[in-house]
C-alpha cells in the first residue's frame, strides 16, 4: 500500500529527523538514496527536446551565462502558423558536446514520472513543489555561486557533480545521492570526469510570515491612509502618536486570534492533490455517456465560490469564472458550495439526465474536477 511519506522518505531516509532537525535549518547530504532513473534519464531529456519543446521550458548555460535563444531554437510549422522558439535538437547536442549544460524547467508539468513524484512530495510536505533538471557534459561549469529563495532537494541521477555549499564546504554527489539546501544557502556546482544529470526539487514553502501577513491584511484599520500632510514640518509627533496607537491595537487583535481556526484555514489552503494522470475530464465533457450518477466530483479550487440570484437565474461565481443558469439549479449548486467532494447523484433537485448535463457543464467551466475517490453519496 502506498504511504504518503514514501516519496519524501526515498530522498531523506528518516522523515521525522528531517522534519525536526534539518528542515529549514541546515544543509544535509544523504548517500545512496537512489537510483532515480525512473524519474528521468539522459534518453528522456533527448526525448523531450526532440518533441520540439519550446522555451522557456529549456535553456542552455555555459560558464554561468545563458546562451542566446537563437543558438538553440528553430522554426517549426504548426498548421498555418510558425513557432519560432522550438528546441533544435541537433544544435543543442553540439553545444552540449562543447561544454554547455542543458537545463529543463517546469518538469512537474511536462514529464509524467515527475508529475507523479512531485505530486506525492506535495502530499508529504504540504508545500508546493517544482522540478528542474540539469544535464552537464564532463568538466562543465553550470551556474555561478548563488542562493535560491526556496528549499531545494538535489537528486543526482547519473554521473557525478562537485559542489561547494555554504556550511558543508566541498563535496561530490554520485548517482543516487541527495543534497538538501535550505532557502538562502549559497552553492555552486561543476561536473567532473563523467557527465552529470541531476534533478532539483524546489519546495516553495509556506512561511509563518505569510500566515501573519494574511491576518494583517484582514485588519481594516491598517488599510487606512496615513494622516493627510503627515510629512509637513511639525506633524511628526501626530504621526508618531497615531502609529503607536495603531501598532498597539493591531498587536492586541493579533494576540487575541484563536490559533485553531487559523491552523484549519492553512491546512485547507495547503490541501493539494498530486498532479493527476490524464483524468478523463475531456471525455466527460465531450461524451454524453461518460458521466453518470456515480461519477465522483471535487471542487477545483480553494478560492471562494458564491451563488447569486439575478432575476429568474442563478449565478455560480469563483474568481475569474461565472456559470449562469435557471433558478431551478439553485439546490444543486448549493451542494457545490457546501461540499468539497460529492457524486453527481448529490446534485439536488434535478433528474438523472439533468444532473449529468450540469456535471459536464461544471467540469467544462472549471468549477469541479473528476474524483475517483469521492465520498459516498450523502443520504
Segment 63-87, tens digit of pLDDT: 888 999 999 999 888 777 888 899 9
Distance CA 8, CA 174 (A): 19
Is the pLDDT assigned to residue 363 strictly greater than 70? Answer: yes
pLDDT band at 38 (very low <50, low <70, confident <90, very high): very high
How many other CB atoms sit within 10 Å of the CB of residue 127? 17
Cα dihedral: 133, 139, 143, 146 (round 10): 110
pLDDT cut 90: percent of the chain above it = 60
Is the pLDDT assigned to residue 191 strictly greater than 80? Answer: no
pLDDT for res 278 = 53
Write the CB contacts of 236 (distance below 8 Å, at least 6 apart in sequence): none
Distances (CA, A) of 28 to 31, 37, 172: 10, 22, 13
pLDDT for res 273 = 53
Q: Taking the alpha carbons of 25, 28, 33, 38 in that order, is the dihedral positive or negative?
A: positive
Distance CA 193, CA 161 (A): 9
- For the domain made up of 6-204, the CATH class stated in words is mainly beta
Mean pLDDT of the chain: 89
- For the domain made up of 281-370, the CATH class stated in words is alpha beta
Q: What is the mean pLDDT of residues 54-64?
A: 90
Query: Between residues 45 and 304, which one has the greater pLDDT?
Result: 45
Contact 50, 85 (CB under 8 A): no
Distance CA 197, CA 151 (A): 20
Q: What is the mean pLDDT of residues 94-101?
A: 92
Distances (CA, A) of 196 to 80, 147, 193, 220: 40, 20, 9, 53
Residue that has been written with the C-alpha cell 526532440 in this structure = 50
Instruction: Give the model confidence (pLDDT) of 212-270 as tens digits.
Output: 988 888 888 888 899 899 999 989 999 999 999 999 999 999 999 999 988 988 887 77
What is the model's pTM?
Answer: 0.73
Distance CA 111, CA 365 (A): 26
Contact 343, 296 (CB under 8 A): yes
pLDDT band at 182 (very low <50, low <70, confident <90, very high): very high
3-state secondary structure the chain: CCCCCHHHHHHHCCHHHHHHHHCCCCCEEECCCCCCCCCCCHHHHHHHHHCCCECCCEEEEECCEECCHHHCEEEEEECCEEEEEEECHHHHHHHHHCCCEEEECCHHHHCHHHHHHHHHHHHHHCCEEEEEEEEECCCCECCCCEECCCEEEEEEEEEEEEEEECCCEEEEEECCCEEEECCCCEEEEEEEEEEEEEEEEEEECCCHHHHHHHHHHCCHHHHCCCCCCCCCCCCHHHHHHHHHHHHHHHHHHHHHCCHHHHHHHHHHHHCCCCCCCCCCHHHHHHCCCCCCCCCEEEECCCCCCEEEEECCEEEEEECCEEEEEEHHHHHHHHHHHHCCEEEHHHCCCCCHHHHHHHHHHHHHCCCEEECCCCCCCCC
pLDDT for res 80 = 79
pLDDT band at 277 (very low <50, low <70, confident <90, very high): low
Is the pLDDT assigned to residue 373 strictly greater than 90? Answer: no
One fold for 6-204 and 281-370: no
Q: Where are the domains of the chain?
A: 6-204, 210-267, 281-370
pLDDT for res 355 = 93
pLDDT for res 221 = 84
The alpha carbon of 58 is separated from its chain's Cα centroid by a whole number of angstroms, namely 18
Amino acid at each position: 500500500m502506498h504511504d504518503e511519506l514514501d516519496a519524501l522518505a526515498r530522498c531523506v531516509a528518516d522523515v521525522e529527523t528531517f522534519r525536526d532537525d534539518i528542515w529549514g535549518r541546515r544543509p544535509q547530504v544523504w548517500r545512496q538514496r537512489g537510483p532515480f532513473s525512473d524519474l528521468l534519464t539522459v534518453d528522456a531529456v533527448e526525448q523531450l527536446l526532440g518533441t520540439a519543446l519550446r522555451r522557456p521550458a529549456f535553456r542552455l548555460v555555459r560558464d554561468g551565462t545563458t546562451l542566446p535563444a537563437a543558438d538553440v531554437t528553430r522554426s517549426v510549422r504548426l498548421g498555418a502558423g510558425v513557432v519560432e522558439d522550438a528546441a533544435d535538437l541537433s544544435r543543442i547536442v553540439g553545444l552540449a558536446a562543447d561544454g554547455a549544460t542543458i537545463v529543463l524547467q517546469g518538469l512537474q508539468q511536462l514529464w509524467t514520472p515527475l508529475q507523479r513524484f512531485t505530486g506525492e512530495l506535495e502530499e508529504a510536505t504540504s508545500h508546493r513543489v517544482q522540478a528542474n533538471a540539469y544535464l552537464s557534459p564532463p568538466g562543465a561549469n553550470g551556474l555561478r555561486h548563488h542562493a535560491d529563495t526556496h528549499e531545494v532537494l538535489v537528486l543526482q541521477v547519473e554521473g557525478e557533480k562537485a559542489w561547494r555549499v555554504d556550511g558543508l564546504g566541498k563535496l561530490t554527489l554520485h548517482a543516487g545521492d541527495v543534497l538538501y539546501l535550505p532557502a538562502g544557502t549559497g552553492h555552486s556546482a561543476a561536473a567532473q570526469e563523467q557527465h552529470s544529470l541531476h534533478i532539483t526539487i524546489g519546495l516553495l514553502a509556506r512561511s509563518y510570515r505569510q500566515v501573519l501577513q494574511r491576518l494583517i491584511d484582514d485588519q481594516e484599520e491598517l488599510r487606512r491612509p496615513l494622516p493627510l500632510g503627515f510629512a509637513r514640518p511639525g506633524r511628526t509627533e501626530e504621526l508618531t502618536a497615531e502609529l503607536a496607537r495603531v501598532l498597539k491595537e493591531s498587536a492586541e487583535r493579533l494576540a487575541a486570534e484563536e490559533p485553531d481556526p487559523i491552523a484549519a484555514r492553512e491546512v485547507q489552503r495547503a490541501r493539494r492533490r498530486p498532479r493527476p494522470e490524464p483524468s478523463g475530464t475531456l471525455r466527460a465533457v465531450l461524451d454524453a455517456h461518460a458521466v453518470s450518477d456515480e461519477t465522483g466530483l471535487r471542487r477545483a479550487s480553494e478560492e471562494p465560490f458564491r451563488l447569486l440570484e439575478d432575476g429568474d437565474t442563478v449565478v455560480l461565481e469563483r474568481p475569474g469564472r461565472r456559470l449562469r443558469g435557471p433558478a431551478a439549479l439553485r439546490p444543486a449548486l448549493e451542494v457545490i458550495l457546501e461540499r468539497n467532494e460529492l457524486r453527481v447523484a448529490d446534485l439536488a433537485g434535478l433528474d438523472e439526465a439533468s444532473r449529468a448535463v450540469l456535471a459536464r457543464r461544471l467540469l467544462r467551466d472549471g468549477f469541479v474536477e473528476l474524483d475517483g475517490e469521492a465520498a459516498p453519496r450523502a443520504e
